[in-house]
Chain A
Amino acid sequence: MTLRRICGLLLFNLPLLAQVTNDRILNSSQEPQNWLTYAGSYQSWRYSTLDQITQANAASLSARWVFQTGSLGQFETTPLVIDGVLYGTGQDNRAFALDARTGRAIWRYQRSLPDKVQACCGMVNRGFAALGDRLFMATLDAHVIALDSKTGNVVWDVTAADYRAGYVFTMAPLVVKDKIIVGISGGEYGVRGFIDAYSAATGQRLWRFNTVPAPGEPGHETWSGDSWKTGGAPAWVTGSYDPELNLIYWPTGNPSPSDYGAERKGDNLYSNSMLALDADTGALKWHFQFTPHDLHDYDATQTPVLVDTDWQGQPRKLLLQANRNGFLYVLDRANGQFLSAKAFGEVTWATEIAADGRPVIAPGSEPNATGIRTCPGALGATNWFSPSYDPQTTLLYVSSSVECDTFTGAPQKYHEGHDFIGSIYVPAKGEKTSGAMRALDPFTGQKRWEFPYTSPPWCGALSTAGGIVFGGDSEGNFIAFDALTGKDLWHIQLGAAIYATPMTYSVAGRQYVAIPAGAALFAFALPEK
C-alpha cells in the first residue's frame, strides 16, 4: 500500500471518526452535509444551504431508501446526520443508526418501558441530541439517557422524574456547551413543569428551572391556593440558544387543568411563556407570557426562531414565534421586550395584543359547561412541528391549522397520573376543519402565499437554498413547494399522516431529504446522473 493510498484512506475515513464538538454545532452552517441539532442550528431556522435540489429539478425527486421502525403510532423524529450516519428515534422509544446513503441499519435500540407510562398524545419521541461520540435521548418514562453513537449501547441513564405521576419526555434534547438541556411533558396530567440541564459526561443533573414557582419564589403569587402543585407549564419542545448572550430560549405549555381556570386564579406563571435562561446556571434572565391564565390549551411550545436584523431601522436580536394562540410574535431576545404580534389565522379568544404584549381577552370566550366556540381550536393555529425561516426570502414558513373548537370547562378532581384537563374541546359543530402551509413576512405579519391542506397538518417546514420549502399533510402527502410562490413542484403519497418535520443532508455529493410517515423513514433525492 503506497503512502498516498494510506493518506487517501485516512482522509476518506476521517469524517467517520470525527466527533461532534461545540464548535461544530456553533458553526453548523459550515457543514450543510450534516444535520447536527433538532432544528438544524441554534437559531432553529430549519434552513439548509444545500442547493442541489432546486425549483427546476424538484419534479424528478424519488425515494432512495425506506427504513421501517417496526412500530406504528406517530413517528415524529427529526433525524441527525453526522458524517454519513443518520441517527433517529422512533415510536415507543426505539432508536436507530443508519447508513445515510442506503438506509441500512448499523444498530437498533429499544427501551423497555413500564406499563403505566401515560403520554397524552402518543408514545412519541422527536429525536436525539449529539455531542462527542454520544447521542442523548429523553425517554417516555422520564429518564435521560446517553447512547454510544457507534453501537447504541447505553453509556448512562438517569431518572429525571416519576413517570407514574404523568411526567414523560417527548422532545429532542439540546446540547449547550457540556450540558444536555431537556424539558418535561405532562400538561394533561397536572405535572409541575421543569427544564433540566445534565452533564453530557456523567448524566449528573447540573440545574433545574421549575416552570411553576414554589412558595416564596417570584411568580408564585400568580397561582391561587395550592394550584401551583399541579400547575402544568410543561416544556415539551426543544428550545434555541444564543451563544453571544449565553441564553437558552425555551417555550412552555399550558397551565393545568387546561380548560378550567376557576381553581388556578391568576396569570399562572410561567405557563405559555418564552423563558430566557442562563445556559450555565438555569437562572431566569427574562420571561414573556403569551397567554396568561390560559383556558384553551394554547401551549406556547412552538420553536423559537432567532434572527438578527433591523427592526424599525435599528439592528436587533429578535426572537420570532408563530404561537399556537394564533399570533405571530416578535420579541427582542436580549431583554424580552415585546415588539409585535400579528394574527396569522382566525382568532376569537382575544381582540388584539396590546402594546405591552398582553392579550385583550374577548368577552364570552371562557369555556363553560355547555360549550363556547373559540378560534383557534385547542390544537392551535400551529403546534409543535417546526416552522422554517429562509434568509433568502426572509419569510417564515408556518404549517397552520384552520379549526375552531367548542370548548367546555368543568372542575375536575386531580388523580395522580390521570388526565387533568377540566373537560374537553371538539371541533365546532357544522364547521369543516382544514389547514395550510403559509409563507409569512414575520416583520409585518403579511401572508405572502398559502397552500391549502384538506385537514389540520402535523408536518412542519424545511427551507433550502435551492428555493424549496418542504412540507406535508395529514393525508400523507410529502410536498416540495416553490419558496417564493407556494407552487407545488413535486409531491408523493406516503400512505400515512405525517407527524414530523423534514430535514436535509448530503452524502458523497448527493442531497437527500428525509421525512418519517407511519412506521417508516423515507429519504428522497434526485436521480443519479
Chain B
Amino acid sequence: MRRMVWHNFTLLLGLLLCMPLGAQSGDKAAIREGESLFRANCSFCHGFDAAGGGRGPDLTQGRWLHGGSDEAIFRTISQGVAGTEMPANPFEDSETWALVAYLRSLNHAATTVVPGDAIAGERLFFSKERCASCHMVKGRGGHLGPDLSRVGAARSLAYLTDSIRKPNKELSLGYTDPNNHYGIPLEYDTVIVVTRDGSRITGVAKNEDAFTIQLLGEDDQLHLLEKRELSEVRHERRSLMPAYTADTLGPLELQNLLAYLASLRGE
C-alpha cells in the first residue's frame, strides 16, 4: 500500500512538471536499461525485439490496445491485463519507466489507416479454398493454422504480408517458455508420418514426444500415433501454408486481405 501511495505521488509530480516523469523519452541510458530488461523478462512472449512472439503482440507499431499514454503503458506493464496472458510485473518503478522509454524508442509512426477494402478482404478470406479453410476468426474457419481473431492487434502489416507471400520465412519453432513448463510449444511445422503399412499423413503436430505424436492432419482429423507404429516421422521445417505469390493473390486482393486482417483486434 505504501508503494501505491508513493506511485500516485510520483505520477502527480510528473503531471505537475508537465512531463512524462519516468518515460525519459530519448534518454539513452534508460532505453538501454529498458532493452535489457525487456529481453530478460518480456521477449519470451513479445519476441526478442518486441516485434511479436508466439504469444504476445508486436509492440513496435504504436498501436496500444490498453492505452497508449506513458502512464497507461506503465500500468499495463506493472499490473498486467486481466483476462489475457499478460501478467503483472513486480519491477521497481524506475525499471518500468525504463521499459516504457525502450518501447517508445521502438515505435514507428502509428499506421492506423490501412488502405484496402476490409469487407472485400473478409469475403476473400472466407471464399472457397482460401484462408478460412485453415485459419479461424471468431469461431469461423479451419483448424490447421493459427487463430487470427486478434492478429491485427498482434502483428505488423509487414509481418502479415510476409506471412502471406513467404510463409516459411518466420516458422514458429515451438520454443517453450522456461518459466511455463506446463505449456505446449506452439509449432506450425509440416510433419509427414509414414505408417508401417505405407500410408502417409501430412499435418501439424499439436504435440510430440520421444514415443508419440499427436498430429492434426490436412484431413482435419486428429491422428494420435505411437512412433513404434510408424516407419518415418519427418519434420519438413516449412509451413503447410502455400506461398501466395502475385500470381495467385494479386496486389489489390492482398491489400484488401491486409485491411481485413488489420481490423481483427479481438474486439
Q: Are chains A and B native binding partners rather than an unrelated pairing?
A: yes
User: Please, which residues of chain B bring their CB within 8 A of the CB of A479?
Assistant: 210
User: Please, which residues of chain B bring their CB within 8 A of the CB of A371?
Assistant: 48
| Per-position binary interface string of chain B over residues 45-61, scored 1 when its CB falls under 8 Å from any chain A CB and 0 otherwise | 00010000000000000
User: Please, which residues of chain A bring their CB within 8 A of the CB of B171?
Assistant: 430
Decide: A477 and B235 in contact? CB cutoff 8 A: no
Give min CB distance, B30 to chain A, whole Å: 10
Asked if A422 is at the interface of the complex by the 8 Å CB criterion, the answer is yes
User: Please, which residues of chain B bring their CB within 8 A of the CB of A491?
Assistant: 210-211
Decide: A454 and B210 in contact? CB cutoff 8 A: yes
Asked if A427 is at the interface of the complex by the 8 Å CB criterion, the answer is yes
User: Please, which residues of chain B bring their CB within 8 A of the CB of A433?
Assistant: 175
Decide: B210 and A74 in contact? CB cutoff 8 A: no
Give min CB distance, B173 to chain A, whole Å: 6
Decide: A430 and B173 in contact? CB cutoff 8 A: yes
Give min CB distance, B252 to chain A, whole Å: 33
Give min CB distance, B235 to chain A, whole Å: 7
| Complex CA–CA separation, A121 to B178 (angstroms) | 9
The interface stretch among B31-39, B72-80, B130-138, B145-153 is B31-39
Decide: B209 and A410 in contact? CB cutoff 8 A: no
Give min CB distance, B176 to chain A, whole Å: 7
Instruction: Closest B residue to A451 by CB, please name it.
Output: B210
User: Please, which residues of chain B bring their CB within 8 A of the CB of A453?
Assistant: 210
User: Please, which residues of chain A bring their CB within 8 A of the CB of B174?
Assistant: 432
Asked if A419 is at the interface of the complex by the 8 Å CB criterion, the answer is yes
| Complex CA–CA separation, A496 to B211 (angstroms) | 15
Asked if A356 is at the interface of the complex by the 8 Å CB criterion, the answer is no
Instruction: Name the residue among A379, A418, A455, A496 with the largest chain B CB count within 10 angstroms.
Output: A455
Known: A427-B173, A433-B175. A412 touches B209 (CB 8 A): no
Instruction: Closest B residue to A403 by CB, please name it.
Output: B175
Known: A427-B175, A455-B185. A411 touches B32 (CB 8 A): yes
Give min CB distance, B105 to chain A, whole Å: 14
Decide: B176 and A455 in contact? CB cutoff 8 A: yes
| Complex CA–CA separation, A285 to B53 (angstroms) | 49
Decide: A426 and B48 in contact? CB cutoff 8 A: yes
Decide: A410 and B173 in contact? CB cutoff 8 A: no
Known: A410-B32, A412-B33, A415-B92. A431 touches B209 (CB 8 A): no
Instruction: Closest A residue to B40 by CB, please name it.
Output: A424
Asked if A24 is at the interface of the complex by the 8 Å CB criterion, the answer is no
| Complex CA–CA separation, A424 to B185 (angstroms) | 21
Asked if A408 is at the interface of the complex by the 8 Å CB criterion, the answer is yes
Asked if B231 is at the interface of the complex by the 8 Å CB criterion, the answer is no
Instruction: Closest A residue to B47 by CB, please name it.
Output: A426
Instruction: Name the residue among B33, B40, B171, B208 with the largest chain A CB count within 10 angstroms.
Output: B40
Asked if B95 is at the interface of the complex by the 8 Å CB criterion, the answer is yes
Asked if A32 is at the interface of the complex by the 8 Å CB criterion, the answer is no
Residues B208-234 near A (CB distance < 8 A): 208-211
Decide: B92 and A477 in contact? CB cutoff 8 A: no
Instruction: Give the total of A residues in contact with B, Cβ under 8 Å.
Output: 43
Asked if B128 is at the interface of the complex by the 8 Å CB criterion, the answer is no
| Per-position binary interface string of chain A over residues 390-427, scored 1 when its CB falls under 8 Å from any chain B CB and 0 otherwise | 00000000000000001010111101001101111011
Asked if A299 is at the interface of the complex by the 8 Å CB criterion, the answer is no
Give min CB distance, A189 to chain B, whole Å: 12
Residues B140-197 near A (CB distance < 8 A): 171, 173-176, 178-179, 181-182, 185
Asked if B10 is at the interface of the complex by the 8 Å CB criterion, the answer is no
Asked if A474 is at the interface of the complex by the 8 Å CB criterion, the answer is yes
Asked if A475 is at the interface of the complex by the 8 Å CB criterion, the answer is yes
User: Please, which residues of chain A bring their CB within 8 A of the CB of B24?
Assistant: none
Decide: A497 and B40 in contact? CB cutoff 8 A: no
Instruction: Closest A residue to B94 by CB, please name it.
Output: A415
| Complex CA–CA separation, A432 to B205 (angstroms) | 14
Decide: B36 and A454 in contact? CB cutoff 8 A: no
Asked if A136 is at the interface of the complex by the 8 Å CB criterion, the answer is no
Residues A92-127 near B (CB distance < 8 A): 121-122
Asked if B25 is at the interface of the complex by the 8 Å CB criterion, the answer is no
| Complex CA–CA separation, A439 to B1 (angstroms) | 55
Asked if B127 is at the interface of the complex by the 8 Å CB criterion, the answer is no
| Per-position binary interface string of chain A over residues 466-506, scored 1 when its CB falls under 8 Å from any chain B CB and 0 otherwise | 00000001111101000000001001010011010000000
Asked if A452 is at the interface of the complex by the 8 Å CB criterion, the answer is yes
Decide: A424 and B39 in contact? CB cutoff 8 A: yes
| Complex CA–CA separation, A412 to B41 (angstroms) | 14
Asked if B43 is at the interface of the complex by the 8 Å CB criterion, the answer is yes
| Per-position binary interface string of chain A over residues 359-371, scored 1 when its CB falls under 8 Å from any chain B CB and 0 otherwise | 0000000000001
Give min CB distance, A262 to chain B, whole Å: 13
Decide: B210 and A499 in contact? CB cutoff 8 A: no
Known: A426-B43, A453-B210, A454-B209. A412 touches B36 (CB 8 A): yes
Interface residues of A (CB under 8 A from B): 72, 74, 121-122, 371, 379, 406, 408, 410-413, 415, 418-419, 421-424, 426-427, 430-433, 451-455, 473-477, 479, 488, 491, 493, 496-497, 499, 518
- Known contacts A423-B36, A423-B39, A496-B182, then 14 further A-B pairs from the complex at CB < 8 Å, ordered by chain A residue: A121-B178, A410-B36, A411-B36, A421-B40, A422-B36, A424-B43, A427-B175, A430-B171, A430-B173, A432-B174, A455-B185, A473-B209, A473-B210, A479-B210
In the assembled complex, 13 residue pairs joining A and B whose CB atoms fall closer than 8 Å, in A order, are A121-B178, A371-B48, A412-B36, A413-B33, A424-B39, A424-B43, A426-B39, A426-B44, A430-B171, A431-B173, A473-B209, A491-B210, A518-B182
What are the nearest 7 A-B pairs in CB distance? A475-B209, A424-B39, A497-B181, A424-B40, A410-B36, A423-B36, A454-B209
